[in-house]
Amino acid sequence: MDPEEIEELVRGYTPAQKKAILEKVPLWTLHRYFMWSNLLRVKFDLVAQEMPPLPEVDRESEVIARFAGEFGMFMSYFYGSLYVVVEGWREMKLSDPTVEALLKSPNVDLLRKYRNGVFHYQKTYLDKKFHRLWGEGVDVVNWVRELDDAFSEFFVRQFPLPDEEQ
C-alpha cells in the first residue's frame, strides 16, 4: 500500500484504532498471497475431482499429458504460490506452533525448488525441480494440505469475522 492508500484506510479512526490497523498492514499483504494460493487450491481440487484414473496402458504419456493440462497447471501454480506464503512468513518472522512444525519438513526446500521450476523457465520438460518434490519429498500431498490448512487457521485467528470477535 502506498501512503495515500494507508491514510485513506485509517481516516476517521481514533489514534488507538489507527495503530491497531497499521500494525496489521504487512499481515494483510501476506494474507493476500495466501488467498491467491488458496484460490488456486480450490481450482486444482475441482479439476482433480473431474480427472479419470490414470490408465495402466502408456501411463508415462498420460502423466505427461496431465502435467501439461489444467491438472498440472493448477497444481503447480498452487504449490508455487504456497511457497510464496512460506517466504513471506519467514521474512515477517511470524510464529505459530502448527505452521512452524510443518516448516521443519525437508519438503520446504523441495517446494522452493518446485516453485522455481514453475516460475522460472526450465530447459527440460520434467526438470528435476519438478520431480524431486515427488521423488524425495515425504508424504507431499498431505503435507501441502496440512500447511495450507495451518496458514488458513492462522489467518482466521488474525482476522476474525465481526461476529467472532470478543
Per-residue pLDDT of 68-83, as tens digits, reads 889 999 999 999 999 9
The whole-number pLDDT of residue 9 equals: 67
Round to whole Å and give the CA distance between 161 and 155. Answer: 11
The answer to whether 92 and 27 are in contact (CB under 8 A) is yes
pLDDT in tens, 81-94: 999 999 999 999 99
Q: How confident is the model at residue 16 (pLDDT cuts 50, 70, 90)?
A: confident
Amino acid 163: pLDDT: 61
The full 3-state SS of 120-141, as one line of letters, equals CCCCCCCCHHHHHHHHHCCCHH
Number of Cβ within a 10 Å radius of residue 30 = 21
Residue type, 30: L
> What share of the chain has pLDDT > 70, as a percent?
90
Instruction: Tell me the angle at which helices 128-136 and 107-119 cross, rounded to the nearest 10 degrees.
Output: 160
What is the grid cell recorded at 116? 522455481
* Mean pLDDT in residue range 15-28: 78
pTM to 2 decimals? 0.82
How much is the average pLDDT of 10-36?
82
Whole-number mean pLDDT of the chain? Answer: 87
Residue 54: pLDDT over 80? no
